[in-house]
Structure 1
Amino acid sequence: MLQWVGMGDLVWHVPYFRRVAETSLGGQVSLIASPTVFAGQLVGHEPWVADIIDFDRHPRRHEGRQGRHRGVMGLFRMGIELRERQFDRIVLFTNHTNRSLVAVTARIPERLGYGTTWLQRRLLSHGPWIRRYAGPAVGTYEDATSFAIAQGWCDAPIAPSLLVRPEALQRAKARVQALPGTLHALCIGSSEPYKQWGMDNFTELAAELAGAGHGVLLVAGPAEREMAQAILQRVEPALRTRVLDATDGTVADTVATMSLMRTCLGNDTGGVQIAAAVGTPTWVMLGPRPLLNHDPQKLHNLTAPGLADIRPGDVARIALAA
């Protein structure tokens, strides 16, 4: 079971889910995750996934609805739904005690989890437990790594990776064939305002890359389509044919598209995590926030006293030199 609700959160956990599957019946697991992580499109085609079970607790704000598993009664409802499946084991990648309550309600005999609080340990079947990460990086991946090592599923951190769907790759290649051969993805979306580098910065970056003769894709979800169109309109008309609005594809299409890029540059969002996971050199604009240390070979942090202090010209030079 995945606690977190973002696509990037799922990407970080995938290598450890694969290791859990290796120790499971038939080499597969049922993945329990929020619908907001788009698990079906990200990993539903991978051989270790038997099926995907929605834990509908925190819908995206724009949906304007209550999650089916929201609140205390929603937790019990989830537990009862899982009870019908008669699972032998549940692996909880979480520090939250309430997921352990779901497992107890489901009457699953073996319940493994982080055990970072005394109450969570009381609801799990046995250890080993881990200590919650308290270092300078984002703790989500660090905790998952410590848990996987403690359980013996690996002996060192594993960088996230994703498998590209062949049919999505064909669509992506057809879509970008009119662009110049060197391609860069700009991840312009943001789940929170404080993570947003800004339209002006992305416009300037897109113009510099296009002016150098490279192709640029503006990558995000449908919610950012208006922003992508505004960026396009601000780019000099002679350069617009080198810039493509890519906000209308599926998540599977995004995975495939990222595998074709020379670089990915963008906000701290699911797109940059996907790009690094398919092997694309990636730079994420963080500003003064905690570091992302899960893939030091492919994902690089751009830090500064403030997010506004990261200048488009500096980012363009990094991309053009990659």
Structure 2
Amino acid sequence: MSMDDTRPRTAVQLQLNGMGDLVWHAQYFRCVAEQSQGGQISLIAAPTTMARELVGHEPWVREVIDFDRRPRRSERRKGRHSGWAGLLRFGAELAPRRFDRMVLFSDHPGRAILVCWRAGIRTILGFGETRLQRLLLTKTPWIQRYRGPAVAGYKDATAFSIAQGFCRAPIVPRISVRPDALARMRERLAPLQRPLHALAIGASEPYKQWGERNFVELANRLAARGHGVLLLGGPAESQLAKDIQARVEPALRGLVTTMTDGTVAESVAALSLVQSCIGNDTGAVQFAAGVGTHAFVVLGPRPPLEHDPEHVHMLQAARLADIGPADVESRVLAELG
């Protein structure tokens, strides 16, 4: 690093905990890095975002620092940085890095401000939506949070980045594929039938789950057309993937493959090699859109996603159960031409 580089040594913190949330923010983090020492940032994020797998290889990422405050319920443990004592502990861990500034992509910066105080970080940039935030944050252009009908995370990140001068206009979310993961996935998916559709069967919450029966019927419909189907999920979806495959018509089962043992980076790579990704509102469909693959999200009545109209195709109805496999198949085939 050049001694003449007077740009600030920067940490960026993402408040939101999902992998899709990180995808929406990644390009804005890159813009912050362009105005930071060495063209890099230290990214602070919850372990649930899988930041090392998703963006750890990016040249603008100096390091990924885990903010372990809210572990998944299934882990049944207290986070290392939970509670006031945990926040002070986290600040002490950051102190030796001597950051010049913290950039908070957060609508509740109070905890982070305490961390910054303990870490000796005096320039703290944030939304500044409330009077209290404006008292505690470094004085900069403020924003009002998005209150419209769509999902707010990307909207707020966009407004904040423009207000701070990190970019001039909205940026469509994009992530890059790790070359090593791409090489492995090219080899693994090479035998599969094309066109190849990935079904994103995982869901972080039960109300987002379209259901085994619907995925079985959709897999049957696509395979009956001679298309390949990849049942994609994580280890938690291993049994669901097996159950779906077992219920596919025997004559079509050879066209349906499961993949629940891959890393997050390998899932991103796989999604860059398929013709479409169809599934629940989960990280996988955001990965797909982030690498330029058409993603069809079974949303039901939930707020729309407006961050990438070209690649994110929403299927909405009064109830999630009202969206049938035939409707999804028709939409996918129409969009793909």
Normalised to the residue count of structure 1, the TM-score between the two structures is 0.98
CA distance in 2, matches of 1:236, 1:176: 22
Q: Is contact 1:100-1:120 (8 Å) kept?
A: no
Counterparts of residues 66-145 of structure 1 (less than 5 Å): 66-96=78-108, 97-145=110-158
Match of 1:189 in 2: 202
What is the Cα deviation at residue 58 of structure 1?
1.2
What is the Cα deviation at residue 107 of structure 1?
1.6
1:155 aligned to 168, 171, 178, which one? 168
Match of 1:36 in 2: 48
Q: Match of 2:198, SS?
A: strand
- Cα displacement string for residues 222-246 of structure 1 (whole angstroms, at most 9, x for unaligned residues): 0011100000000011111111111
What is the Cα deviation at residue 62 of structure 1?
1.6
CA distance in 2, matches of 1:120, 1:80: 23
1:6 aligned to 6, 18, 29, which one? 18
1:27 aligned to 39, 42, 52, which one? 39
What is the Cα deviation at residue 166 of structure 1?
1.3
- Cα displacement string for residues 111-154 of structure 1 (whole angstroms, at most 9, x for unaligned residues): 10111222222221122111011000011111000000100111
Q: Is contact 1:179-1:242 (8 Å) kept?
A: yes
Q: Confirm whether residue 49 of structure 1 aligns to residue 61 of structure 2.
A: yes
Match of 1:246 in 2: 259
Q: Confirm whether residue 288 of structure 1 aligns to residue 298 of structure 2.
A: no
Match of 2:238 in 1: 225
Structure 2 letter corresponding to 1:143 = D
CA distance in 1, matches of 2:302, 2:293: 23
CA distance in 1, matches of 2:116, 2:217: 50
Number of equivalences: 322
Normalised to the residue count of structure 2, the TM-score between the two structures is 0.94
- Cα displacement string for residues 170-194 of structure 1 (whole angstroms, at most 9, x for unaligned residues): 1111111221121111111000011
- Cα displacement string for residues 198-238 of structure 1 (whole angstroms, at most 9, x for unaligned residues): 11111111111111101111111100111000000000111
CA distance in 1, matches of 2:138, 2:92: 19
Counterparts of residues 204-283 of structure 1 (less than 5 Å): 204-283=217-296
Q: Any gaps of 5 or more consecutive residues in structure 2?
A: 1-12
**Percent identical across equivalent pairs?**
60
Q: Is contact 1:149-1:155 (8 Å) kept?
A: yes
What is the Cα deviation at residue 318 of structure 1?
2.0
CA distance in 1, matches of 2:322, 2:196: 25
1:15 aligned to 27, 50, 58, which one? 27
Match of 2:71 in 1: 59
Match of 2:191 in 1: 178
Q: Match of 1:283, SS?
A: strand
Runs of 4+ that moved beyond 6 A:
none
Structure 1 letter corresponding to 2:255 = R
Give the stretch that moved more between structures: 157-166 or 271-280: 157-166
CA distance in 2, matches of 1:136, 1:257: 32
What is the Cα deviation at residue 32 of structure 1?
0.4
Q: Any gaps of 5 or more consecutive residues in structure 1?
A: none
Structure 1 letter corresponding to 2:297 = V
What is the Cα deviation at residue 60 of structure 1?
1.5
CA distance in 1, matches of 2:76, 2:234: 17
What is the Cα deviation at residue 283 of structure 1?
1.0
What is the Cα deviation at residue 51 of structure 1?
0.5
Q: Match of 2:298, SS?
A: strand
Structure 1 letter corresponding to 2:279 = G
CA distance in 2, matches of 1:138, 1:64: 29
- Cα displacement string for residues 253-295 of structure 1 (whole angstroms, at most 9, x for unaligned residues): 0010000111111111100000000000111011111111111
What is the Cα deviation at residue 101 of structure 1?
2.1
Q: Match of 1:261, SS?
A: coil
RMSD: 1.0
